[in-house]
Structure 1
């Protein structure tokens, strides 16, 4: 709606990560194949992990996981990574796919490598392979490479990050993927570009307004359509995608009228009005709780239009370098040149980067009703 060139299906992204994962593992094999012992099994598992890493995403990807589910299944410990693993098991069993169990186990380990549901790795050898698709050490992985370049192009914004440079020059030292010291600026651009995308695209005021309206529509339809119950059964979950909006729009059921009306408002661009935002000062972030509609309603003046909680929608946005207040560059190791087998960090530059791109927390509020002016 805001960036028509962008899509939410993850299909193109999954193909891109599959291709990049293949490129990355082949680069390592070309430069260090004999030393690292990379074989056909390793290549296949990395490629499959790249292809299937997001198969567990629900409608509108992170919106389903981070905004919708917490409202209808509060306290549920669920992630799309874990669902990806469950979906793989379901597909293999349902389709009777003849694939080695060791391959499937390693693919699932790679998908969960950067999540809190990470599995105990079946082998302590070749740990660097787990950093290619979902890097739990420092966040540099082909998943990020693809969506940063893809989203920048789809939304017509500039992208100074060149993943080809990192993939061409990376080497494995001590079972860990390391980078040339002269490439630290390229790595900085990776995280800075990601932060800029979050700041200008993913948290754009109109984008957030549409997201809030879609979530409200799904929440209102949940009791009737039992949308959230699909996550309990992979055999049902695979049927759930972005077309859920069209299902609601075309259904004549009176129970879905509120949801239909919200979706119609989105189609007509009658969006929740952006009211205000507040950037939390860095020194207050640690002790600043999320703002709610109740907080805003309780703070309003007694004169003028009186708002109820259902009139206000609030979104709490956090933008960082991927690891909260921790600088990912502190977990990255570098090497001087290709003759060197010593890896090291660059702490001074890390702190400089961290000061330049500090954690940003925005509190944005919208008015849900078009007839109310604030």
Structure 2
């Protein structure tokens, strides 16, 4: 069988032809754990507001893997990199596996599951408990380990390529580094070495390979990494240092495309005009404004789409339905049982709707209300002064309902508080301040201050809101009055309703 027939090719709406040549990538894609991503909406409840937001985690992960290979190929072919720090074949296939698997841990309706459902189901009470609680990144690691077990159990009569793996560790540069930026129409690349890199399998993953995948998902350099000058490998899929990574490149472009929004930043230029200096990814100084545009695009999507009032209302109703169903279906316990979690997806709502179990009656009624557009109602919101952000981090529903002094009853369970923060991806920090740049003809990296780029770039990089929703439309006026009293008691300045 020739190489062209062994390729796995996808026609993607964003990247065009995406080709996966290595057998290990095809092996990842053809697992239950990865195929499950076809049934997870990328934007969760936003689909109930924006009909174009129907794309799923599956195509996003394919796109992230494609971009990660494209970027690592570029670094390999840069002549200025020291030979011992160049990416080798082992780095390349581990990076692509990490890119494919970085979102394996997402639950139903993506961030609805880990940001809303899990904290309530597991009774996280404080911001600290939420911060240290379960995350989809933890879920991705769990599901990756399950994928390795799944592969081991599914393949019979095959043993590890022990000799090949040993050679891969001892002489990683003896293996061909096959560029994957070419499309099918441009032809297939032939190996320039007799070693068959397509023979490496998930079965051959040892402790070091698995840990590298985990660290690439986390965006932090591995403690076992042999050189700090190779930390760029851990800045490609997820970058906790400055948040410039291929995960963001893909989802910003993909979300804008499906939502019908226009994005003015260009991720392909960021990859093209980048180099590795001192082990870190640096960008051409000409691309500094392009980076600001990327983070502003992210801000706009959060402001207009991800936190849309109606989308959040649907999100809270889905969360309530899952919380009501949890004692019966044991949904929250599945995060510790990957053999069950692999079957948990957006389809859980259909399972609830089609059940006649009396224990699921409340959940079924909530889902019926969503379809009939009898949604929770948005009450009001207020933007917080920057010097008072920390003051309201632990705000609870009772703090609002205790301000009710009129007729009628308003209980904490009647309302939902949304402590909303929108930023440039690094909380209150400017992420571009953490980026390194270079000038053509120089091997030195440097930073660029905001004032050297434009005086119109914001000086504040986070804004926080307090939002209130009410579950019963009949209590909308009571909730509104209580919230206005709370605003006055705390001497906050109410903005004009928009």
Range class of TM-score, shorter chain: over 0.9
Q: Distance in 2 between matches of 1:347 and 1:287?
A: 30
Q: Are residues 1:91 and 2:147 paired?
A: yes
The offset of 1:373, in angstroms, is 3.6
The residue aligned with 2:134 is: 78
Alignment partner for residue 437 of structure 2, among 319, 334, 352?
Answer: 334
Segment of structure 1 superposing worse, 214-223 or 120-129: 120-129
Alignment partner for residue 207 of structure 1, among 287, 311, 314?
Answer: 311
Q: Distance in 1 between matches of 2:316 and 2:79?
A: 49
Asked if 2 retains the 8 angstrom alpha-carbon contact of 1:265 and 1:271, the reply is yes
The offset of 1:223, in angstroms, is 0.7
SS of the equivalent of 1:43 reads: helix
TM-score (norm 2): 0.71
Instruction: List alignment gaps of at least 5 residues for structure 2.
Output: 1-47, 153-201, 478-498
Measured on the aligned residues, the alpha-carbon RMSD in Å equals 2.0
The offset of 1:356, in angstroms, is 4.3
The residue aligned with 2:327 is: 223
SS of the equivalent of 1:187 reads: helix
Asked if 1 retains the 8 angstrom alpha-carbon contact of 2:450 and 2:457, the reply is no
Q: Distance in 1 between matches of 2:454 and 2:466?
A: 26
Asked if 2 retains the 8 angstrom alpha-carbon contact of 1:82 and 1:112, the reply is no
Alignment partner for residue 73 of structure 2, among 26, 34, 42?
Answer: 26
The residue aligned with 1:107 is: 213
TM-score (norm 1): 0.93
SS of the equivalent of 1:361 reads: strand
Q: Distance in 2 between matches of 1:144 and 1:164?
A: 12
Q: Distance in 2 between matches of 1:130 and 1:280?
A: 35
Per-residue CA deviations over 1:50-74 (Å, capped at 9, x if unaligned) read 1110001111111111111111112
Asked if 1 retains the 8 angstrom alpha-carbon contact of 2:211 and 2:222, the reply is no
Q: Distance in 2 between matches of 1:121 and 1:136?
A: 18
Aligned length: 369
Q: Are residues 1:50 and 2:99 paired?
A: yes
Asked if 2 retains the 8 angstrom alpha-carbon contact of 1:319 and 1:359, the reply is yes
The residue aligned with 1:37 is: 86
Segment of structure 1 superposing worse, 20-29 or 90-99: 90-99
Per-residue CA deviations over 1:182-201 (Å, capped at 9, x if unaligned) read 11000001111101110110
Alignment partner for residue 470 of structure 2, among 362, 367, 373?
Answer: 367
Asked if 2 retains the 8 angstrom alpha-carbon contact of 1:69 and 1:228, the reply is yes
The offset of 1:228, in angstroms, is 0.3
Per-residue CA deviations over 1:213-232 (Å, capped at 9, x if unaligned) read 11111111111111000011
Asked if 2 retains the 8 angstrom alpha-carbon contact of 1:3 and 1:154, the reply is no
The residue aligned with 1:285 is: 389
Q: Are residues 1:306 and 2:412 paired?
A: no
Per-residue CA deviations over 1:153-198 (Å, capped at 9, x if unaligned) read 1111221111011010001110000011111000001111101110
SS of the equivalent of 2:382 reads: strand
Per-residue CA deviations over 1:228-280 (Å, capped at 9, x if unaligned) read 00011111111111111111111101111111111111111111111101111
The residue aligned with 1:347 is: 449
Q: Are residues 1:257 and 2:304 paired?
A: no
Q: Are residues 1:148 and 2:252 paired?
A: yes
Q: Distance in 2 between matches of 1:41 and 1:353?
A: 44
Q: Distance in 1 between matches of 2:203 and 2:80?
A: 28
The offset of 1:306, in angstroms, is 3.0
Q: Are residues 1:138 and 2:185 paired?
A: no
Q: Distance in 1 between matches of 2:261 and 2:402?
A: 39
Segment of structure 1 superposing worse, 346-355 or 264-273: 346-355
Segment of structure 1 superposing worse, 97-106 or 310-319: 97-106
Q: Distance in 2 between matches of 1:284 and 1:302?
A: 28
Asked if 2 retains the 8 angstrom alpha-carbon contact of 1:24 and 1:167, the reply is yes
Asked if 1 retains the 8 angstrom alpha-carbon contact of 2:119 and 2:133, the reply is no
The offset of 1:80, in angstroms, is 1.3
Structure with higher Rg: it is: 2
The residue aligned with 2:283 is: 179
Q: Distance in 2 between matches of 1:214 and 1:8?
A: 19
Instruction: List alignment gaps of at least 5 residues for structure 1.
Output: none
SS of the equivalent of 2:316 reads: helix
Q: 1:162 to 1:348 in 2, by over 3 A?
A: closer
Runs of 4 or more, structure 1, over 4 Å off, are: 350-354
Q: Distance in 2 between matches of 1:358 and 1:39?
A: 38
Q: Distance in 2 between matches of 1:318 and 1:104?
A: 34
Per-residue CA deviations over 1:35-86 (Å, capped at 9, x if unaligned) read 3422211211111111110001111111111111111112473121122112
The offset of 1:150, in angstroms, is 0.7
Q: 1:357 to 1:159 in 2, by over 3 A?
A: farther
